[in-house]
Structure 1
Amino acid sequence: MVTKSWLYDVILYIYALSLLFYFSDFIGPNRSAKRMGAGLLSFVWVLQTAYLIYNLVVHNRTAAYSLFETLFMLSWLLVTVSLIVNRFFRIELFVFLVNVIGFAVLALNFFSNPNVSPTLASWKINDELLFIHVSLSIAGYTAFAVAAVFSGMYLFLHRQLKEKKWSKLMQRLPSLDKTDHYAYVSVILGAPLLLLGISLGIVWIALEGDMALFFDPKVINSWFVLLVYIFYLFQRLVLHTPGNKLAMWNLAAFFIMALNVVFANFYSTFHQWS
């Protein structure tokens, strides 16, 4: 059996990357993104299948039906079902949501296994889970920061054009359509990264065994930030809100996210800077 967690980390990161492509395809039909997502998810399925076969061959019947293997089988079945649906139906939202659940189950399975040791000797296994949680969340925050910069550029260009003020700086900036599109793409990347980060945070809390942490202000506010960005996507895709209003909403969402990160040290019981 694999006892080092580095292989599990690789599987989780590949899984997360596949979900980014699936989310992108769900937001706006994109054959290339869907193909990449399906390819990466298929690779995750192959790794899971190889592990299951190895486990059944090498281990006795009791070990094969332990809680670890049961949860692993559940995650494997969720991936299998989503690949079948992806192949024969066009229900991208179903595929994405099912795999968010599968991703969380797989993480819970990996990091709750007492036989798995962390990659770094100085870490505990929960520290490695926390590292992945933080890395995905920070990647999401980075994408949101990029989106905020493009939204600020959009508002600047929009105001200059409205007032018919021309300058050399305007010539060096992308057009309104491009800045709006770049901000939109950044949010598409940031939203699923934050969702996956939150899901791993939930797994970490479950493994810590302190259910009160589910109601920590930082956790609640993180869900609120995610909903704010989802509403941004809803405004763009369903309500067809004008670009200047979307840009202002994007900046407001980033401000809320920044406050959530900065002031976590003052009101969160465990999200604190040391």
Structure 2
Amino acid sequence: MLEMNITRLYELSIILYALSVLLYFIDFLDNNRKANRVAFWLLSIVWVFQTFFFVFRIIETGRFPVLSIFEGLYFYAWVLITLSLIINRLMRIDFLIFFTNVLGFLVLAIHTFAPVQHQSPAVAEQLVSELLMIHITMTILAYGAFSLSFVFSLLYILQYNLLKQKKWGKRLLRIEDLAKLDHMSYVLNIIGMPMLLLGLILGVIWAYIKIEQFHWYDAKVLGSFAVLGIYSFYFYKRIVKEVQGKEIALLNIGSFLFLLINFFLFGSLSRFHFWYS
């Protein structure tokens, strides 16, 4: 019972950490100080949980818990979270903070869901099932955000063409202005990108635990990381190259069409995605 309650707090830590990474990504791309503050406090709560667990483990074992690989992973995750909080307070390095927390999330997720560290086989099996559920949920939420972003880009192209052809009428008035359509498409991609990244991290961890012959060259695995790369290219073009307007809207539409290809075609070619769904 105690192990299950502690496990639930571990899972809560993972969820709070995921939300923190999402907000740090928003701050990283959009220089959003409010998102940064909320992310910092969420991560602070995770740090309190992790510190409590660490001290509890010291009391339980009567030693500094770093002798096994999983104890070492936990301490490493705690160090990354601590350094991230310190860096966030002392200096403004958004790139370092975001990627440090992605790495911390990966390490903490491996420690939390690895079945070999749990004494009870039932707890370990339930955790693996819940890991799969969290992976699927986060990935679907990311796909939902990308879908809405795609719709806003389609509306942008429609509005753009109506304005260019000077077709004034009720249809034009019922669609939002171009700036708002472009901004909403961008915001939804900001939400979807880290959700997909974290969902893929959890999915790979699940695959290594559950599947005897997991291969990185599986069609769905390669396709999913290709989707991540394509949306990364979208952000590169938009933020670094400052591409705006119709060109970035068409790129976003193309990115979503590739996502659909990955979901339907590559999913059917996958060695394992078809049977766990």
TM-score bucket of the superposed structures, by smaller chain: over 0.9
1:108-119 map, 5 Å: 108-112=110-114, 113-115=117-119
For the 8 Å contact 1:12–1:103, the answer to whether it is kept is yes
Matching residue of 1:245: 247
Q: Which residues of structure 1 form unaligned runs of 5+?
A: none
For the 8 Å contact 1:225–1:253, the answer to whether it is kept is yes
Q: Deviations over 1:104-154 (max 9, x none)?
A: 1111101112236777x9x64321111111111111111100100100010
Counterpart AA for 2:240: V
Matches of 2:64 and 2:38 in 1, distance apart?
A: 38
Q: Which residues of structure 2 form unaligned runs of 5+?
A: none
Q: Which of 63, 79, 83 does residue 77 from structure 1 map onto?
A: 79
Q: CA deviation at 1:174?
A: 1.3
Q: CA deviation at 1:66?
A: 3.4
Q: Deviations over 1:36-85 (max 9, x none)?
A: 11111111111100111111113333867433322111100011111111
- Are 1:235 and 2:254 an aligned pair? no
Matches of 1:211 and 1:96 in 2, distance apart?
A: 32
Matches of 2:75 and 2:213 in 1, distance apart?
A: 26
- Percent identity over the alignment is 39
Matching residue of 2:204: 202
Mark the CA change 1:62 to 1:14 in structure 2 (over 3 Å): closer, same or farther: closer
Q: CA deviation at 1:268?
A: 0.2
1:93-132 map, 5 Å: 93-112=95-114, 113-115=117-119, 124-132=126-134
Q: Let me know the Cα RMSD of the aligned residues.
A: 2.0
Matching residue of 1:27: 29
Greater alpha carbon shift after TM alignment, 65-74 vs 164-173:
65-74
Matches of 1:96 and 1:118 in 2, distance apart?
A: 35
Q: Which of 258, 261, 264 does residue 260 from structure 2 map onto?
A: 258
For the 8 Å contact 1:3–1:115, the answer to whether it is kept is no
What is the number of residues matched between the two proteins?
272
TM-score, normalization by structure 1: 0.93
Matching residue of 1:148: 150
Matching residue of 2:136: 134
Matches of 2:50 and 2:121 in 1, distance apart?
A: 19
Q: What SS does the corresponding residue of 1:166 show, helix, strand or coil?
A: coil
For the 8 Å contact 1:202–1:214, the answer to whether it is kept is no
Matches of 2:134 and 2:122 in 1, distance apart?
A: 12
Mark the CA change 1:64 to 1:91 in structure 2 (over 3 Å): closer, same or farther: closer
Matches of 1:64 and 1:260 in 2, distance apart?
A: 41
Matches of 1:25 and 1:84 in 2, distance apart?
A: 17
Matching residue of 1:59: 61
Q: CA deviation at 1:239?
A: 1.2
TM-score, normalization by structure 2: 0.92
Counterpart AA for 1:115: Q
Q: Deviations over 1:168-189 (max 9, x none)?
A: 1221221100000000000000
Q: CA deviation at 1:28?
A: 1.3
Matching residue of 1:178: 180
Greater alpha carbon shift after TM alignment, 86-95 vs 54-63:
54-63
Q: What SS does the corresponding residue of 1:61 show, helix, strand or coil?
A: coil
Greater alpha carbon shift after TM alignment, 167-176 vs 215-224:
167-176
Q: What SS does the corresponding residue of 1:54 show, helix, strand or coil?
A: helix
Matching residue of 2:3: 2
Matching residue of 1:11: 13
1:184-223 map, 5 Å: 184-208=186-210, 210=212, 212-223=214-225
For the 8 Å contact 2:65–2:72, the answer to whether it is kept is no
